[in-house]
Structure 1
Amino acid sequence: MQSKNHFLLVDFLKTFAAFTIILHHLSSYGQIAEDARLLQPGVMTFLFEYGRYAVQIFLVMGGYLAAQSLSKTSNLKTPQDVLKTIINRYLRLFAPYIVALLLTIACAWVARFWVQDEFVGQSETLGQLLAHLFFLQGILGLDAISAGVWYVAIDWQLYAILALMLGMFPGFRSVIWILMVLCVTSLLYFNRLGEYENYFIYFIGAYGLGALAQLCKNYPDPLVNRFARIMFALIGVAIVIASFQQFWLRNILAYLVAIALIFFGDWAYKDQARDHKPIEPHKLFNAILWSSRRSYCAFLLHFSFILLANSLYIGWGMSRLHDGALALALMMMALVGSWMAANYLYRWVEVPSRKLKID
């Protein structure tokens, strides 16, 4: 039986968001995306236009899980403790990230022999790679080596900001006040201006909603829970009022995901027992858990398979046929390949690298 610490909605959202983002990128890049659109124009257009909204799920989930982790630790008492926590988060992200970057560079080198497309990019430079290693590529205005790596940089920024706030204001009420202000200003102002998209302030609206969702229910102090609920409700009121002026689907989606986590985020797999008798989880739950654990690695690796699929499609002359079914089949192969490779990256790199931490 699965551990009681596995939560169905959390694992499902991680899996769903990763699949959706991969499909969004498959519908966005290269000749296979163009030709697959000939066969399924509605589906491909939908994925291209709306698949990117899965980022909001990632952000809310990121805030929810970060608040869960940081609120349970007592190691944020000094500036040194906060710095150690932030560095450990960097080390947790780093190992699979750098392996995926190197694989993407190799696949892009192969793709440049056949694929003449802007998404492949120019040959990577040492400075560009170094900027990626320190999550600075967006801030420095450099081209991304892989699709989606910007999110890893932003996730680390947001985690660091939340750790800093909890270190400075351990009483939580001040943190909740600050989160409320940051959420409202981000959702209603900064998130609508492209010049801020490489900085935490652009994304902290959704991330902060996830953090507040965690504090609304799961923090042991009921006074903190009540205060977090009030602030969460006020953010909802602000979103509704602002929607009368201009409707932003991503704000509504982020708020709905956060609400779902408040009500169902602690639904553990063990709750699937009938008549209070323990049973083995359904195979579907096992599949969700398997995918959830590997979702970060799949997210990191999928662009390499998009490059390879387009290289194969063009290099073997299949693109001259403009066969939508063949292009769609290659897309599905890239999707499956991403998750198969993610399994090995997870087992061989991500899990062993968890020992890399400062004690």
Structure 2
Amino acid sequence: MQSKNHFLLVDFLKTFAAVAIILHHLSNYGQIAEDARQLLPGIMDFLFEYGRYAVQIFLVMGGYLAAQSLTRSEKLKNSRDVLKIIINRYLRLFAPYVVALLVTIACAWVARFWIQDEFVGESETLSQFLAHLFFFQGFLGLDAISAGVWYVAIDWQLYAILALLLGMFPGFRSLVWILTILSVASLLYFNRLTAYENYFIYFIGAYGLGALAQLCKNYPDQLVNRIAVICIVLAGLAIAVASFHQFWPRNLLAYVVAVTLIFFGDLAYKDQVRVHKHIQPHKLVNAILWSSRRSYCAFLLHFSCILLANSLYVGWGMSHLHDGALALALMLMAFVASWGAANYLYRWVEVPSRRIKL
């Protein structure tokens, strides 16, 4: 276990958002979701309706951490350096992503023996798989192989755009204004039109707020800090005014997360405490750290576990009982299995693959 300081809010939000998305998909897909809803209709409906808002947390966190990484980088001096950073980001995402795709394809193949449901989908094609490898599935209008893989493609788009903007405006003062304009335009217009949902402009609202939150305090140029604070305030006013016309909870959530990161994003804690004169890891701290590091892998693999849980439920004839308690138990098994599988994907694939870079 590492002994260095970590950032409590950052790790907690990553864990919370991953858990919320997994529970949202568990409440959405398959016979186990339908039968569990009979037992806990209120909770299941809540997870189905509001669990997807955790994507806003992911987006704000993504912008915050991307800006943190890119503004500290000394490799944005020319277009070649920017291109190298963008490619390295793709390589960082790629290895666990492609392994998770292959696992999902295998689990879907198993599921099709017993389940005839839209969420399982039809057999994957080679062109569909190749499109996913290069994040083109959304552009080409192809069905997603796994729930949530669209986010990986969008995350890379947003990171690439932010890197390009940082390379174009190295002083960052003009960048802050441009990022604010893009964010507000996205939150108030583009994010409300499904025609743009496969493109960065649909999501840069929340992502940009996260980047601005980082620039508010951690960039060495104090003028940039002040401009970023002004822009965050102006963005908040725009969201507030627009809410009188039509209230969008996801915009408010994104803004609240961004402001919270400004005040508490650097709140550090040690992952070891003294217990009976010995240095021992704190259990709660370890749990947050452990799950935070594996949140990306859990996000990638949880749909495979949902497929297998539904296959077990239907294949063994348990679905005929329509037993809500049994369905709920299988949901819990799928949830635990998602994090168990994520642990191995993290240790065996994600960590070793970090060495792959230009």
The TM-score, its normalising length taken from structure 1, stands at: 0.97
Distance 1:214 1:266, change over 3 A: same
Kept in 2: contact 1:2–1:269 (CA 8 A): no
Q: For 2:8 and 2:205, how far apart are their aligned partners in 1?
A: 24
| Deviation (angstroms), 1:4 | 3.8
Kept in 1: contact 2:188–2:239 (CA 8 A): yes
| Structure-2 residue corresponding to 1:247 | 247
| Structure-1 residue corresponding to 2:320 | 320
How do residues 158-237 of structure 1 correspond to structure 2 at under 5 angstroms? 158-237=158-237
Distance 1:302 1:167, change over 3 A: same
Q: For 1:57 and 1:272, how far apart are their aligned partners in 2?
A: 27
| Structure-2 residue corresponding to 1:56 | 56
Secondary structure at the counterpart of residue 269 of structure 1: strand
1:334 aligns with 2:334: yes
| Structure-2 residue corresponding to 1:30 | 30
Distance 1:135 1:219, change over 3 A: same
1:353 aligns with 2:347: no
The amino acid that maps onto 2:105 is I
Secondary structure at the counterpart of residue 152 of structure 2: helix
Unaligned runs of 5+ in 1: none
| Structure-1 residue corresponding to 2:40 | 40
| Deviation (angstroms), 1:224 | 1.1
| Deviation (angstroms), 1:282 | 2.7
Per-residue CA deviations over 1:27-60 (Å, capped at 9, x if unaligned) read 0000000000000000000000000000000000
Q: For 1:350 and 1:235, how far apart are their aligned partners in 2?
A: 36
Per-residue CA deviations over 1:254-282 (Å, capped at 9, x if unaligned) read 000001100100011139979xx997553
Secondary structure at the counterpart of residue 143 of structure 1: coil
| Structure-2 residue corresponding to 1:116 | 116
The amino acid that maps onto 2:270 is K
4+ runs deviating over 6 angstroms: 271-274
Kept in 2: contact 1:35–1:327 (CA 8 A): yes
Q: For 2:346 and 2:90, how far apart are their aligned partners in 1?
A: 17
Q: For 2:247 and 2:279, how far apart are their aligned partners in 1?
A: 45
Distance 1:211 1:130, change over 3 A: same
The amino acid that maps onto 1:125 is T
The amino acid that maps onto 1:13 is L
The TM-score, its normalising length taken from structure 2, stands at: 0.97
Identity of aligned residues (%): 82
| Deviation (angstroms), 1:3 | 4.0
1:304 aligns with 2:304: yes
Q: For 1:223 and 1:79, how far apart are their aligned partners in 2?
A: 26
How do residues 253-268 of structure 1 correspond to structure 2 at under 5 angstroms? 253-268=253-268
Aligned residues between the structures: 356
Distance 1:181 1:6, change over 3 A: same
Q: For 1:352 and 1:271, how far apart are their aligned partners in 2?
A: 23
